[in-house]
Chain A
Amino acid sequence: MTTVLSHAPMGAHYTKKKEAGLPVSIQGSGEAALAAKAAGASDAAQILSLTGVTKTFGATRALDGFTATIDKGEFVTVVGPSGCGKSTLFNIVAGLEEPDPGCAMRFEGNSVIAADLLGRVSFMPQRDLLLPWRTVIDNAILALEVEGAPRKEARALAEKMLPEFGLTGFGQQYPHQLSGGMRQRVALMRTFLFKRDLMLLDEPFGALDALTRTMMQRWLLDVWQKHQRTILFITHDVDEALFLGDRVLVMSARPGKVKLEQKVDLPRPRPAEIVISPEFIRLKRTLLEAIEEEAMKSFTAEGK
């Protein structure tokens, strides 16, 4: 196995004591260990820590004691069966929904409530949600405009970013003139231009065809390494989670909590063929087993 540290993204905080690849349960008894680890780690390295985040909608409990920490510069992917509360988790971290009382959230070293996070996390929802009356450039600068940046400067900034997002020459086009993959890249560009340390991506490639999807994944890794952001990425695709992430959090069926935390010690930059390497497949097996179990749970729960 290759060493992790040489390929770790900048600022990532790795603990070497745990054998990589060993699933680390952080539920139940593991929670205490995690809390200890969180307390031990320096605040500077952590961008976000969630402890016991719970959310109930009427009679349904979407999240139940979700606990995780994310280090600066890390790429963390979250996988789970459908309806496991992934989107609820993201809405909370984006500041759109308050969790139930009694949980602790820390952001950049400070204790926060969800509403404090509004405007401090760059959030990209599942659908591109581009405004049809705005050009590609103007859609990309929407968040900058909200922040009060002068339009002219923001546009110049976006114009410079077009090639990197594969949108050269499309700056003045309207969303309805673009393909699905391009629209998604405009939405990503909007997210990147909203310069926040933590980026939340909610299944950004879910609606794309398989080929475009792999292209976009590789491209996202390039852009991430260049821009040095922390990314929390939701997906239901195990391959995607492993290919992209430094760490994969597997969520349990509803109510959602962390079932398994899997460190991904694959070297970076990751070539496309890595998905057929024995190491990748070994990790995939571990994840699939965990997910399968949860998927069955939610499947039988729905059948009732």
Chain B
Amino acid sequence: MSATTLQSPATRPGTSPLVTALFRAVRGLAILLAVLAAVEGLVIVLNVKPWYVPRPTLVLNAILATPEPYVQGFLRTLTETLMGFTSGAIFGVGIAIVFFRARVLRELIFPVFVVSQTIPVIAFGALVVLWFGNTLIAKAAISFYLTFFPVTVNALLGLESVDPRQEALMRSFGASRFQILTRLQLPAALPQIFVALRLASALSLVGAIVGEWFGDTVGLGVLLLQGMYNENVVAIWAAIAMCALLGTGFYAVVAAAERALVFWGAEQ
């Protein structure tokens, strides 16, 4: 037997994934704090008026003084975002499979999708509110609208880039089309799908916030509008900070899921 069998099974280089993740989080937090401290310092030194850029501590104090609307808003917008993201992702991948299988359907429906995406989300939002009223569903629908298209496009790209020789091998085993889909094509498309999901995580948040602008009482978008109408710059910045927290956190979760699921990287 060749010498290669003698070596012990290779362990993955580097430390455990948990330690790496923790290190990344601490590093990110440190950078964030440094930037905030720099802004704080610059605002004081240059004597910038709070109207333009309030001191970060001022914003933090505003949030801590009345935390309930921020926490409630955060949770509400998070719910809308998750609903839109999940439905958009499932629908996107599902429709990509349909298009992948049925070329005719793809040629008929895909142009409609493209046209739908050229309609500005604001125009579409008015319609959604008419249909669903000021409900959670309405926000999720707008979030969905922004999410599904990039997922469809990327999933389709991933499905189509599967090695035909690998498919031939599966067929030689007597595999059915469904088996080829679940055991080969979908896993092979996963790296492409995750590219879209990372994009979709940001877009679904935008959808949820824009949806709230069409009328609601709770949510980060609502807080943004209230801050704007009251010309309360600190409140606007506080809402922005919460949006950033939600967006970054969600993106980090999707990216972590990607690292865990697509561990084989760009090989093949």
Which residues of A approach B to under 8 Å, CB–CB?
Answer: 91, 94-96, 118-123, 125, 127, 129, 131-133, 142-143, 145-147, 166-170, 172-177, 179, 181-182, 194, 211-212, 215-216, 219
Contacts and interface: CB of A to CB of B under 8 A. Distances in A.
B264 A146 contact: no
7 contacts: A94-B172, A118-B172, A127-B165, A132-B268, A173-B10, A175-B264, A179-B4
Nearest to A194: B173
B258 to A, nearest CB: 13
A129 B166 contact: yes
Contacts of A212: 2, 4
Contacts of A181: 2, 4
Contacts of B166: 129, 131
Nearest to B179: A146
Interface string B60-72: 0000000000000
B17 interface: no
A194 to B, nearest CB: 6
Contact of B183 (A94, A129, A146, A216): A146
Contacts of B179: 146
Residue of A122, A168, A179 with highest tally of chain B CB at under 10 A: A179
B183 to A, nearest CB: 7
Given A131-B166, A131-B187, A96 B4 contact: no
A41 B184 CA distance: 42
Contacts of A194: 173
Contacts of A146: 170, 173-175, 179, 183
B163 interface: yes
B230 interface: no
Contacts of B190: 133
B120 interface: no
B47 to A, nearest CB: 57
A182 B3 CA distance: 10
Interface in B182-209: 183-184, 187-188, 190
A133 B264 contact: yes
Given A94-B168, A119-B174, 20 more contacts: A94-B172, A96-B172, A118-B171, A119-B173, A123-B172, A129-B163, A129-B166, A132-B264, A132-B267, A132-B268, A133-B187, A142-B170, A142-B173, A145-B183, A146-B179, A166-B2, A166-B5, A175-B267, A177-B10, A219-B1
Contacts of A143: 173
Contacts of A166: 1-2, 4-5
A244 B14 CA distance: 43
Interface of B: 1-2, 4-5, 8-10, 12, 163, 165-166, 168-175, 179, 183-184, 187-188, 190, 263-265, 267-268
Contacts of B263: 133, 174
B172 A119 contact: yes
Contacts of A182: 4-5
B264 A170 contact: no
Residue of B172, B184, B265 with highest tally of chain A CB at under 10 A: B172
Contact of A125 (B9, B169, B175, B265): B169
A219 B163 CA distance: 29
Contacts of B165: 125, 127, 129
A147 B183 CA distance: 13
A180 to B, nearest CB: 9
B168 A125 contact: yes
B25 to A, nearest CB: 26
Nearest to B1: A166
A123 B169 contact: yes
Contacts of A145: 183
Contacts of B10: 173, 177
A169 B1 contact: no
Contact of B2 (A121, A123, A215): A215
Residue of B174, B175, B187 with highest tally of chain A CB at under 10 A: B174
A173 B9 CA distance: 8
Contact of A147 (B169, B174, B188): B174
A210 B197 CA distance: 45
Nearest to A213: B2
Given A127-B165, A177-B10, A211 B183 contact: no
6 A-B pairs closest in CB distance: A119-B174, A132-B264, A123-B172, A166-B5, A143-B173, A146-B175
A242 B1 CA distance: 21
Contacts of B4: 166, 179, 181-182, 212
